């Protein structure tokens, strides 16, 4: 059973034929999608929780359909913003095509939360009695192909002559355990300040945003996607977390896509000037 990302079809439908062609995946499997882009920008965009789709044979993992529309299944709005940015910046993007409830690619393979049995109060019946055989099968079929797709994409950008910058795109709930989250957007980073600090400053200069510095989460966890592909390789990186109520519909996705494309263009151009 699959679910469409809000606003995505309408957004792609309004593109010119040339832009539409540029947005079509360069490579697509059951596990991942690579959106074509020029390596000259020096940027790779990653969307770990792009989809709430569950593959045939898994049904709904025993959940009510409404549960798959919640944040426990995906990062609401993040995929549409990623597509916008990839097209606007002409930068490659790698996105998942299965729900985080099947397997969470933003975890290390040995992480106990790789396949969740309980998420924000929801028991996941299809994961409750997971055995080692099924765990290994999901890693092989859904996790590692996405990981390898990132490696190939990063290598192509690196071959163009610039150290790739990795940008993770995520979204977060407007409340958590009854507490409101005031941030409109958060920049998540750890020790690497190269892209995070200029991006934080640019977002703050917008004047109408509450910007989180490593909010609503700490910057990085060992084993997560950016740890594997950026930290371990010494590449500059950060994650952007956008509050989900701001990008839950097409209007919000377009607004944030345009805003972030403008900001990132300025930040990346400044980085290129500094590097040269």
Distance from chain centroid for Cα 174:
18
Say which CATH number the domain at 23 has.
3.40.630.40
Prior bond of 256 cis (ω within 30°) = no
Model pLDDT, residue 219: 77
Share of the chain above pLDDT 90, in %: 77
Look at residue 2 and tell me whether its pLDDT is greater than 90: no
Look at residue 200 and tell me whether its pLDDT is greater than 90: yes
Structure tokens at 183: 């941030």
25 found inside a domain: yes
**Placement of tokens 């729900």 in the chain:** 99
271 found inside a domain: yes
Structurally, the chain folds into a number of domains equal to 1
Model pLDDT, residue 21: 46
Residue 120: how many CB atoms within 10 A of its CB? 12
Provide the total of helices (H) and of strands (E) in the chain, helices listed first: 9, 12
Look at residue 276 and tell me whether its pLDDT is greater than 60: no
d(CA 148, CA 34): 11
Domain around 267: 8-275
37 found inside a domain: yes
pLDDT higher at 226 or 5: 226
194-213 burial: b if 16+ Cβ within 10 Å, else e? bbbebbbebbeeeeeeebbe
Q: Which secondary-structure segment (H or E) carries 87?
A: helix 78-89
Burial of 13 (0-12, 13-18, 19+ CB in 10 A): exposed
Please compute Rg for the chain using Cα positions.
18
262 found inside a domain: yes
φ, ψ (nearest 5 deg) of residue 137? -65, -40
Counting Cα atoms < 13 Å in the Cβ hemisphere of 139 gives 15
55 found inside a domain: yes
Residue of 40, 5, 8, 35 whose CA lies nearest to 23: 35
pLDDT, one tens digit per residue, over 15-51 is 444 444 444 456 888 899 999 999 988 999 999 999 9
d(CA 176, CA 195): 28
pLDDT, one tens digit per residue, over 114-153 is 999 999 888 999 999 999 999 999 999 999 999 999 999 9
Over residues 176-192, mean pLDDT: 91
Burial of 231 (0-12, 13-18, 19+ CB in 10 A): middle
Q: What does pTM read for this prediction?
A: 0.90
1 found inside a domain: no
Q: Give the chain's end-to-end CA distance (angstroms, integer).
A: 49
81 found inside a domain: yes
3 found inside a domain: no
Model pLDDT, residue 273: 66
């Amino acid at each position: 059973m699959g679910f469409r990302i809000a606003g995505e079809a309408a957004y792609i439908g309004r593109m010119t034929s040339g832009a539409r062609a540029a947005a079509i995946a360069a490579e697509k499997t059951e596990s991942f999608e690579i959106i074509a882009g020029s390596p000259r920008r020096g940027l790779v965009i990653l969307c770990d929780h792009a989809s709430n789709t569950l593959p045939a044979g898994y049904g709904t993992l025993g959940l009510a359909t409404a549960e798959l529309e919640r944040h426990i299944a995906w990062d609401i709005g993040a995929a549409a913003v990623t597509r916008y940015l990839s097209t606007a910046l002409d930068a490659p993007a790698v996105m998942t095509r299965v729900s985080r409830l099947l397997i969470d690619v933003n975890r290390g393979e040995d992480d106990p939360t790789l396949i969740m049995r309980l998420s924000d109060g929801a028991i996941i019946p299809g994961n409750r009695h997971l055995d080692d055989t099924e765990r290994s099968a999901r890693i092989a079929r859904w996790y590692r192909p996405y990981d390898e797709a990132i490696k190939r994409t990063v290598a192509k950008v690196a071959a163009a002559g610039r150290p790739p910058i990795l940008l993770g795109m995520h979204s977060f709930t407007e409340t958590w355990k009854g507490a409101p989250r005031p941030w409109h957007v958060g920049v998540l980073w750890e020790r690497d300040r190269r892209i995070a600090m200029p991006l934080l400053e640019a977002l703050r200069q917008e004047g109408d945003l509450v910007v989180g510095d490593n909010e609503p989460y700490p910057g990085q966890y060992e084993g997560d996607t950016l740890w594997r592909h950026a930290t371990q390789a010494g590449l500059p990186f950060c994650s952007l977390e956008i509050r989900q109520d701001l990008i839950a519909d097409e209007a919000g996705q377009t607004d944030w896509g345009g805003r972030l494309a403008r900001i990132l263009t300025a930040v990346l151009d400044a980085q290129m000037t500094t590097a040269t």
